[in-house]
Amino acid sequence: MRLRIVILAALVAATPGYAADVAGLMKTVPVFSKVTGKNMYELERCMIEVDGPIMPHVYRQPDRPQRVMMVWDGGGGVGGVSAAVLIDGIEDAKVTFWGREKVLRRIKPCMELAYSG
């Protein structure tokens, strides 16, 4: 029994970790960029609530209140990131998207449809 515990502990300890390279992905050419007629908060809310297999991580910086970045972690994209969105501006926000088309297809209706939630 002790041997099993030791082997299990060794396997868990040997599991490789990885860091997502969001900056690396954002240095590539964006897949999509559009100035919308939507409010930043409306877009963010809709993109979070989209029925997707992976929910985005939302990042804000106190010195940039008119900017929000969302990252979908998927492991199969650049450095473990499957997609990233940068939303700039509170009103008529500009959306810039990098990453997988699959994620873009899921969030694109958020930019085109009125959202009331």
- As beta bridge partners, residue 73 has 81
Overall domain count for the chain: 1
The string of pLDDT tens digits covering residues 37-95 is: 999 999 999 999 987 777 899 999 999 999 999 998 875 555 577 899 999 999 999 99
Write down the pLDDT at residue 22: 77
- Three-state SS string over 76-110 comes to EEECCEEEEEEEECCCCCEEEEEECHHHHHHHHHH
Residue 87 to residue 20: CA distance in whole angstroms:
20
The model's pLDDT over 81-117, given as tens digits with 9 standing for 90+, comes to 789 999 999 999 999 999 889 899 999 999 886 444 4
pTM summary value? 0.74
Residue 81 lies in a domain: yes
CATH code at position 72: 3.30.160
Q: For residue 95, is it within any domain? A: yes
Domain annotation covers residue 23: yes
- Asked whether residue 102 is domain-assigned, the answer is yes
Instruction: Measure the CA dihedral 57/60/61/62, to 10°.
Output: -140
3-class secondary-structure state, position 53: coil
Q: What residues make up the domain containing 26?
A: 19-112
